[in-house]
Amino acid sequence: MTQQEQVQQDAMQATMQEKMLERINRGVEYLDSNASLFGDWLSAIDIRHLIMSSGEYCVLGQLGVSFSEFVDRTDMSSTEASSLGFLLDEEEYGFNETNMARYMFIYSQLTELWIVKIVALRSERSRHNSYQV
């Protein structure tokens, strides 16, 4: 790979991560604003077992909601769920049966970004709560 190709690949990677972070932020807002459905979601997530590519160990799965239940409860499409960082749009990321390594790599990045966000929120909210006492 040439240096120029590496720079282009790094730029694409950074753009993809920025897009994922924007979606995760919208997902956090959604979960926070729907506490009647999800309760204290931030405390319920076990980041040691968070795997966004897994229906059981993703954010929704750890909240006791399968993706199909989530869609039924919210009448949300998979495109809308993708816009909240709950899953990745297969067409957007070019997934198919021949590139499982890419699929797993991108989902691992989504998982990592959710973990970073959850840890930051827990820290931020615990500091905020300690000031209110």
- Alpha-carbon span 83 to 92, nearest angstrom: 11
**pLDDT mean across residues, the chain:** 85
Percent of the chain with pLDDT over 90: 45
**Residue range 39-85, pLDDT digits in tens:** 899 999 999 999 999 989 999 999 988 878 888 888 888 889 989 99
**What does each C-alpha distance from 88 to 45, 97, 121 come to in angstroms?**
19, 15, 22
pLDDT confidence of residue 79: 86
Per-residue pLDDT averaged across 16-25, rounded? Answer: 93
Domain boundaries in the chain? 18-132
**Residue range 22-40, pLDDT digits in tens:** 999 999 999 999 988 888 9
